[in-house]
Amino acid sequence: MTANNDSSDLEALFDSIAADVKVEAPAPKPVQPPAASKTGDDDDLQALFDTVAAEYVVSEPVAATEPAGGAAWSAQESVFNRIGHMARQLHDTLRQLGYDKLIEDTVSALPDAKDRLAYVANLTEQAACRVLNATDIANPLVDDMEKGATQLGERWDKLFANQLSVNEFKELAGETRAFLKEQLPQKTRATHAQLTEIMMAQDFQDLTGQVIKKIVTLAQDLESGLMGVLIEAVPDTRRTQEVDNLMNGPVVNAEGRSDVVVNQQQVDDLLDSLGF
Amino acid sequence: MAVDPKLRFLVVDDFSTMRRIVRNLLKELGFTNVDEAEDGAIALQKLQAGGFEFVVTDWNMPNMDGLTLLQSIRATPNLKHLPVLMITAEAKKENIIAAAQAGASGYIVKPFTAGTLSEKLNKIFEKMGQG
């Protein structure tokens, strides 16, 4: 439910990774070409990374051949060191390829991302309030119409059962006319206005959609870069380990997962099968 | 079975929109005696002050989450009989099992419909009638 859910997951993942690095203190290995990060990142970045990695192996043999027992380097330091070298290489290569402008744009977009997300939260909340307000206004209108129609209908039933005097009939006819010509159109118009309000409240989707798309692109760019570093620094066994807790928020993609339910029926079946 | 429309509900969720939606749905079902709390800690305070007969709670909330609230309710002698219906986006099987084991009266995954809420409430009322 809460937005910080993901970040705490990531933090836990990060902690587990950090702990692991400390314990196993892997000797720095020659840098592999950053084995394909699992996201479908764009070819440009992949190519860029390959270039960087290739150059790194050739031009920075010092870090690559650091002896495993090199007591001078703690595990973290060696990781930082490698990241530092990669950053330098990346920087140079980017310059050469003319990507520095692109990265500059990405970085300058970061502080903006928080504001954008706040904007999304704000717009969606406003929309929810507008819709709920509209239904609060429209519900009594519809109730009134239904009540009025039911009352008139009952009196017409009496008429057809010959239970009304001529005067009562005249009165009923007059009231029915007023109901049809005035009350009803007035209330349907007012209801219609609320339906329009509900429709218009959906305009946030266009705005938030654009903002979210931008942030997703930004996140993807960052992810593909960081992923390469992580894949090198994290031992195989850790990679697949899932962060486990009971507050994961909505399941964004249930495809291929057997540990989650996708509808209420599955909840009920599960509880039934356990005898609850 | 006939359920007292005066039944007093406490709706616990950190999002006001969701509280309002649940409150509206309860109103449509004829229950107008509804109070709200924005997290488990506030809910527990309100419950201890007394007068509530039914709890509808979210899971993931700041300060005190819904599972802890449920566990606290079940561990408090004068509250432990309260029916607690969980309405949450948490959809992992272990969530559902944990809630059931902690003594939840019902479990609804978001997004949910008015029909589902009505059905689960009735099921809980039936059990209350028997118990």
Q: What is the pTM of this model?
A: 0.58
Percent of chain A scoring above 70 in pLDDT: 60
Q: Of the given ranges (A10-14, A57-61, B96-100), which has the lowest mean pLDDT? A: A57-61
pLDDT tens digit sequence for A251-264: 777 888 888 888 89
Can you give the pLDDT at residue B3? 83
Helix pair A75-97, A5-24: axis angle to 10 deg: 120
Compute the distance between CA of residue A205 and CA of residue A208 in angstroms, rounded to an integer. 5
- A270, B65: Cβ pair inside 8 Å? no
Of the candidates B20, B65, B110, the beta carbon closest to that of A132 is on B20
- Chain B positions touching chain A (beta carbons under 8 Å): 13-15, 17, 20-21, 24, 58-62, 65, 67, 88-98, 100, 107-110, 112, 116
Say yes or no to pLDDT of A35 above 50: no
CA dihedral for A112, A113, A115, A119, sign (positive or negative)? positive
pLDDT tens digit sequence for A129-178: 999 999 999 999 999 999 999 999 999 999 999 999 999 999 999 999 99
Of the ranges A8-17, A38-47, A51-60, B74-83, the best mean pLDDT one: B74-83
pLDDT tens digit sequence for A192-215: 999 988 988 888 887 888 888 888
Can you give the pLDDT at residue A160? 94
- A236 vs B83, more confident: B83
DSSP 8-state assignment for residue A182: I
Give the distance from residue A134's alpha carbon to the nearest chain B alpha carbon, in angstroms: 13
Of the candidates B17, B65, B89, the beta carbon closest to that of A249 is on B89
Q: How many CA atoms lie within 13 A of A121 on its CB side?
A: 12
ipTM of the complex: 0.77
Neighbours of B58 (CB within 10 A): 27
Type and span of the H or E element at A260: none
